[in-house]
Amino acid sequence: MTISRTDIEKVAVLARIQVDEAQVSALENDLGNILDLVDQLSAADTDSVEPLAHPLDAVQRLRPDEVTESDQREAFQAIAPATENGLYLVPRVIE
């Protein structure tokens, strides 16, 4: 797949980046190489390949689901600037 000079300039405008003439030709070559690589990868036959969740078949060790901290809600609400019915009150920011 090829990418044209006008495509690069259009993407630069959409991305709001400034690309000068010296960079356009280099980008044209680099992006063309990347798109060629994507075409090669797309052409690979992957029908018989099973998807992997992890390349090393690693198993995550699980820890017990236990409460490790005490409930400090009352202490935190005591030092809050404004609370009501157990909720923190904050200033309205959207009008």
Which residues have CB under 8 Å from 3's CB, separation 6+? 28, 31, 32, 35
Domain holding 27, by residue range, is 5-42
> Per the structure, how many domains does the chain have?
1
Could you tell me if residue 15 is inside a domain?
yes
Q: Say which CATH number the domain at 15 has.
A: 1.10.20
Could you tell me if residue 29 is inside a domain?
yes
Q: What is the pLDDT of residues 48-84, one digit of tens each?
A: 988 887 778 778 889 999 999 999 999 999 999 999 9
The label of the residue with tokens 């797949």 reads 1
Q: What is the pLDDT of residue 60?
A: 81
pTM to 2 decimal places: 0.49
Could you tell me if residue 36 is inside a domain?
yes
